[in-house]
Structures are given as structure tokens and as C-alpha cells.
Amino acid sequence: MTLPHANWNYPTAIRFGAGRIAELAAVCREFGLTRPLLVTDPGLAAMAMVEDAVAANRRAGLPTGLFCDIRPNPVGTNVEQGIAAYRAGGHDGVIAFGGGAALDVGKVIAFMSGQARPLWDFEDKKDWWTRADPAGIAPVIAVPTTAGTGSEVGRAGVILDEEAGVKKIIFHPKMMPVAVISDPELILGLPPHITAATGMDALSHCIEAYCAPGFHPMADGIAAEGTRLIHRWLPVAYADGANLEARGNMLAAASMGTTAFQKGLGAMHALSHPIGALCDSHHGLTNAVLMPYVLVHNRAAIEARIARLAAYIGLADASFDSFLAWILGLREALAIPHALPGLTVCADQLDRIASMAEEDPSAGGNPLPFDAAAARQVLDAAMAGRIG
């Protein structure tokens, strides 16, 4: 067998460990940020962790602005307002501080801060990223406060185009944060339902990356170990929000999932993007609901791989059925809705969701061809709660 050619990338520098948020000012100086804009969501903006970070930077001689006008499913208007705040404040970099929404918006603000073209000209299609002026991309320092999206090690942001009613992926290699502060103390006490939804998002990244076609053994290994960490630690983090070891391992797993999915994603994300756009559902929770239905749909292409993954994470029966049973049991333990009606997805939206899923960039990474007809099959099963 002749080995194929493949292009691989690893993510950025990560400062991992409890209490490392204290190093924020030093990291800003290391990467030349003298007047950063901290981008977060409204809930976090009112919390002591953000106030403390801004105050510490100011004491270190780094005046730091704050922008927090971000929706849970961020929209283009959020980005435009953030760019205006960035330019008005004379900022020279972004601290993206929070969950997936804040990280995505922060990265896109930094990306757009020096661009002349409109945002949607940089959607992740063909080579549209080459339209950007690399010199106009500001540096980003990412500080995740949930263990889910892994956006802190990603090169893209997902933003809702309100006019089109479509979630769009904005991509550029230089959107990768220059540094990450991954401090598990920042997610102590995260509510159980957020722990569950974000943790299942990380699991969806690991599983879809592992199952995506193509030759990328490094991504496969990272995805497999991320899945093992989630198998071990997500139930612990859900049951005990103060368990620092569980929180740290879930933070690592979230970053691993996003590192791995540069190999590809699949039908879970192809469907969850339009469902989130049309129904304003939580992205990780949507992936969690869809997960078993997509696994069953793809079974013919992934059964052997899933059996190997089941063995690696330590399931007694290394089989597809055992892995599926684990997923179903985990969802039940985490109080994840079993079917799409639990997300208030209406039956009259299914055809539109299926059509949008076919066009979503993630559909191309599914192990089996995923057109609108296939999407509708998965949606019908997920609406009815029918496994197999």
C-alpha cells in the first residue's frame, strides 16, 4: 500500500493549569498587546472573573476595554458592533474570554478589525479566506470558560447571518489564537445543564473527527483520547461542579476535539447548524440530541472504527452496539432530551433544515454521502425518537 499525501497542522501555545489566569497580563505583553479589547458574553461580564481580569491588566499598565453585546447564537450584528468598539478604543488585540459564542465573536472581531471587505465575503467556501489581508488580522488570546466548543484552538468562528437565516463559518488560518490560558478554576461551579451540553459538544467533535474519512492518524489519536477523557470525566464534572480534576480533564478534552476536527466533522454539525439558526437552540445540546441518530445512520461506514474506539475507552464489550448503548446511557444520565421535540424543533421546518444541512460545509466530512434526503431520514428518526 502506498501512503497518501496529507497536510497536517497542530494548534497553538496553551498555558494549562489552575490559577493560570494570573498570567494574562504577561501573555498580553509577550504577544505585543498593549491595549486589548476583552470580548465576553453579558453573563460573564457581570461576574468577578472578568472584572478581576480587566483590573489586573490595568494594574499591569495594560488598559483593557470590554465588549459583551453577544447573543448565545452570535449574529453578524454582534461582530459589527464589536469591530466598532475595537476601532473606537484604539485596541491592538483581543482577549476572547468565555464559552463558544464569546470565543467565536472575539476571533472574528480580531480577524475583521483590519479588513476592507464585508464579513460574509470570508465565509468558509472554496478559497474565500484568501480574500483577507493577513496584515489586518489582530492577535487573539483565548480564555475558555466552558469545556465544550474548543474554539480556543480553532481557526474559525460560527456566526449567524440574520438576513439569510443561515449560520456561516468564517475561516482563516490566522484566526488561530496566538495563545490560550486554559484554567480549570474558571469553570468550577458551571451549572450541570451547561456542563452536560458543552461536554457533549466536545464529545461530538471527537467522534465526528474520528469517524471522518481521510488519512490523519494524529487527529484520530487525539480524538480517541479525547473520547476516553470524556467517558471518564464528564459524569464526574456533571455530578460535582467543584471537582477541579474533572474540570481540567474536560477542558483538555474540549481542546482535543477541536484540534482533531481539522480532519473533518459530519452530519451532527451539518444538522445542528441550521437547527440552531432556525430554532435558536444550544449548539452542544443539539449535537447531543442528534448524536445517536447520526451514529446509526452512518453505521455501515463506521462500525469497525467505533468498535476500536469502544475498546480504547474501556467498554467491556468492544462493539458498535456497546458504544451506542454508552451514548444513550450518558445522555440519560445528563438529562439530555432524547428527541428533537425536546429542542422545540417543529415538523414543518424539517425540509428546510434538511436542505440547509446538505449545503453546510460539515456535510462533506460525513462518512457517508449526506444530501437532503439523507438529512431528512436522520431528522425523521430524531423527531420520532427512533433508534435503529
376 lies in some domain? yes
Q: Are strands 156-161 and 166-171 parallel, antiparallel or unpaired?
A: antiparallel
**Same domain, residue pair 281 and 377:** yes
What span, in angstroms and rounded, lies between the C-alpha atoms of 208 and 263? Answer: 9
The CATH number assigned to the domain holding 63 equals 3.40.50.1970
158 contacts 119 by C-beta, under 8 angstroms:
no
Same-domain check for residues 340 and 273: yes
Q: Does 157 lie in the same domain as 56?
A: yes
CATH number at residue 368: 1.20.1090.10
In terms of residue numbers, what domain contains 343?
A: 191-384
Cα dihedral sign, 255-368-360-116: positive
Q: What is the pLDDT along the chain (388 residues), one digit of tens a residue?
A: 567 766 666 799 999 999 999 999 999 999 999 999 999 999 999 999 999 999 999 999 999 999 999 999 999 999 999 999 999 999 999 999 999 999 999 999 999 999 999 999 999 999 999 999 999 999 999 999 999 999 999 999 999 999 999 999 999 999 999 999 999 999 998 999 999 999 999 999 999 999 999 999 999 999 999 999 999 999 999 999 999 999 999 999 999 999 999 999 999 999 999 999 999 999 999 999 999 999 999 999 999 999 999 999 999 999 999 999 999 999 999 999 999 999 988 888 999 999 999 999 999 999 999 999 999 999 999 999 999 8
pTM: 0.95
Candidates 240, 209, 237; CA nearest to 222 is 209
Do 64 and 210 lie in a common domain? no
231 and 137 together in one domain: no
Q: Is 116 exposed, middle or buried (0-12, 13-18, 19+ CB in 10 A)?
A: exposed
